[in-house]
Structure 1
Amino acid sequence: MNLPTGPGIIGDLRARILSLDLPPGAPLSRADLSARYGISSTPLRDALLRLQDEGLVQIHPHARTSVSRIDLDLARQTHFLRSAVEVEIAAKLAARPPAGLADELWQLIDMQAVEAAEDRLKAFGTLDQAFHDALFRHAGLMQVQRMIRRESIHIDRLRALHLMQPEKARQILSDHRSIAQAIGKGDPAGAAQAMRQHLSQSILFGERLTAQDPQYFTSAAR
């Protein structure tokens, strides 16, 4: 198997953390990581420091390292920003739907339905992100999207936890259909409401989950 090297290690660890392959609070053994990636302690330390700067890893005294827990307050703040932007985008696109957007959205929805039926949640999640990326792209706001993505580590992990719930994939599909239908019909108010409803679910789920699985969250969130 070809393992990532250099900067690719950071990307691989980031992806594993955001997908919950490495869950919140999980210890990170430096010896195990060095063996997995075939690197010495210095490049591994640099990679962990970079991930700590991103808020994904916590390096504790005496070299103990763990995956950072989810900060629900920061997730709420990111959600506030993302919701304000995406609700406005949905309304803007519905007011004047760009050529090709409706077909692209429905194609992504159809692909998501296949992945959901086969219980391939990782692929489903990738297509979920692609749906929202398409809206930013057609609105000409990809730089805004990149800014939001940089601040989304906590809400992304909340969404990954939520996606593990049996009903969540079905709800996402239903929400995406409502958004696509409203945009296709040229209904700005309907598109905005559908997007607002869609984006509200993971934060509500996070508030419930702090009581059910407190080990995933910071003490402040609990």
Structure 2
Amino acid sequence: RRVADGRFIREAVEVSVVRRAALEIEPVALMALEHNLQLQKMAADRHDSQAFLSLDDEFHRLIAESINCLLAWETVENIKAAMDRVRFLTLSEVSPPDSLIEQHEEILSALKNHDADAAEAAMRRHLQEMIFSITPIAERNSEWFESL
């Protein structure tokens, strides 16, 4: 339940943040996001899940920072502990890093184009990945989850 609720809240916050960022983001923030994506690719190539997940979080934090709204990211961080456990468990088999990097690239592309609708849609697709990740993990490890 906490994972589902946390994902819902995270989506509401981050979709609003990325929409505003698409309209306001500056070139220096776009460069920071591009650099972060390069580091994500390197972590994925090394199969370094811990580094990858840290860079994934940083990617989202950088978007909030780009509109000077770190409180939004702090709010997400405060609710995502249960989500992080699922993310770590599903990274290699259900949500492979290459797929997540492609989703981040779509978000970045929309931000570069200052396309708020595309940024919102890309972020929503990215965060809804959690729904698809939970099901196979819950089926294999039912004792970890209460029924939704």
Query: What's the TM-score bracket when you normalise by the shorter of the two chains?
Result: over 0.9
Aligned to 2:84: 156
SS at match of 1:101: helix
Q: Does 1:221 align with 2:134?
A: no
Q: Does 1:80 align with 2:8?
A: yes
Gap change, CA 1:167 and 1:159, over 3 Å in 2? closer
Amino acid corresponding to residue 6 of structure 2 in structure 1: T
Contact 2:15–2:123 (Cα < 8 Å) also in 1: yes
How do residues 83-98 of structure 1 correspond to structure 2 at under 5 angstroms?
A: 83-98=11-26
Aligned to 2:124: 196
Aligned partner of 1:109 among 32, 37, 44: 37
Higher relative contact order (CA 8 A, sep 6+): 2
SS at match of 1:186: coil
Contact 2:24–2:67 (Cα < 8 Å) also in 1: no
Work out the CA distance in 1 between the residues paired with 2:102 and 2:124.
13
SS at match of 1:86: helix
CA apart distance, 1:204: 1.9
Work out the CA distance in 2 between the residues paired with 1:194 and 1:156.
20
For normalisation by structure 2, the TM-score amounts to: 0.92
Aligned partner of 1:184 among 80, 98, 112: 112
Work out the CA distance in 2 between the residues paired with 1:153 and 1:115.
22
CA apart distance, 1:178: 0.4
CA apart distance, 1:203: 2.3
How do residues 40-51 of structure 1 correspond to structure 2 at under 5 angstroms?
A: none
Aligned to 1:28: none
Aligned partner of 2:72 among 144, 149, 162: 144
Which structure dedicates a bigger proportion of its chain to helix?
2
Contact 2:22–2:114 (Cα < 8 Å) also in 1: yes
CA apart distance, 1:166: 6.9
Work out the CA distance in 2 between the residues paired with 1:170 and 1:104.
19
Aligned partner of 1:171 among 99, 103, 128: 99
Work out the CA distance in 1 between the residues paired with 2:24 and 2:73.
20
Same amino acid, percent of matched pairs: 22
Aligned to 1:206: 134
**Superposed CA RMSD:** 1.6
CA apart distance, 1:165: 1.6
Gap change, CA 1:144 and 1:165, over 3 Å in 2? same
Q: How many residue pairs were aligned?
A: 148
Flag structure 1 segments of 5+ consecutive residues without an equivalent: 1-72
SS at match of 1:130: helix
For normalisation by structure 1, the TM-score amounts to: 0.63
Contact 2:111–2:119 (Cα < 8 Å) also in 1: yes
Amino acid corresponding to residue 86 of structure 2 in structure 1: L
Contact 1:91–1:191 (Cα < 8 Å) also in 2: yes
Farther-moved stretch of structure 1 (143-152 vs 77-86): 143-152
Q: Does 1:119 align with 2:61?
A: no
Flag structure 2 segments of 5+ consecutive residues without an equivalent: none
Work out the CA distance in 2 between the residues paired with 1:181 and 1:162.
26
